[in-house]
Amino acid sequence: MTQITLSEISKTYTIKHKPVTALSNINFTVNNSAFLVLTGPSGSGKSTILQLISGIEQPTSGQIIIDGQNITKMTNSELTTFRRKKVGIIFQQFYLEPTLTLRQNIELPAIFFNLSPEERNQRTKELANLMGLSEHLDHLPSQLSGGQIQRAAVARAIYNKPSILIADEPTSNLDHDNIHTVINLFKQIQQTYGTTIIIAAHDQTIANEATQVIKLDAGRIVI
């Protein structure tokens, strides 16, 4: 069971020696296996929240409790372990290493875990089958379609079975059909693995599929 609670979260950056408030007094809870979408204009604080939940950034004040652990009190080493075990991240550009095969790209997260060759092979087969990529594992990214690259990036993000999957604007550069493909992938992951999914998105299409929507503006939650 994965529950995430943000309490009185504020985040201030210093830019050109001046404080800039990215988030101010943010409070919300994400329940187990939720499909949460953060919406709002550019600069509203969506990406900052993703960075805080993933432990990439630390808040200026407040606390974040995930599965009973206060990640705002963790050391850098503890945060690294937390991310490896708990969090999968899908980057906006769905980037794959161009010189690696699809199989090698999907298996990149395995370097952090002591998996046997048999376990790695079984996990890769399972994900390739889930994503419809079984016949393309020996192909290079240049030999794949855009949709196949998307699915491979998602497979890589969930390789280590994270309880939390985070994606920042994953549909921003996609056409209508591919937007629905990505949404369906997220829903399939949520239903198959019970993963808690947190997405920052401008697109109302993806917000319509969410179990929970939080709208932000100027670093605050808008009711």
DSSP single-letter state for residue 103: H
In this prediction, residue 203 carries a pLDDT of: 75
Residue 174 belongs to a domain = yes
The CA distance from 69 to 73, in Å, is 9
Whole-prediction pTM: 0.88
The CA distance from 220 to 210, in Å, is 20
The CA distance from 153 to 92, in Å, is 10
Q: Containing domain of residue 168, as a range?
A: 32-55+75-215
Strand partners, 212: 36
Our separate counts of H helices and E strands in the chain read 7, 10
Residue 15: count of CB within 10 angstroms of its CB: 8
In this prediction, residue 1 carries a pLDDT of: 59
In this prediction, residue 141 carries a pLDDT of: 92
Residue 10 belongs to a domain = no
Q: What's the pLDDT tens digit per position in 69-85?
A: 999 999 999 999 999 88
Residue 8 belongs to a domain = no
In this prediction, residue 111 carries a pLDDT of: 81
Residue 185 belongs to a domain = yes
Strands 4-15 and 61-66: antiparallel
CATH number of the domain enclosing 46: 3.40.50.300
The CA distance from 152 to 132, in Å, is 9
Strand partners, 88: 165
Residue 19 belongs to a domain = no
Residue 140 belongs to a domain = yes
Q: Which residue stretches of the chain have pLDDT < 50?
A: none
Q: How far is CA 18 from CA 14, 44, 58, 100, 116, in A?
A: 5, 18, 19, 43, 51
Strands 35-39 and 196-200: parallel
Q: How many domains are there within the chain?
A: 1
Residue 134 belongs to a domain = yes
Residue 223 belongs to a domain = no
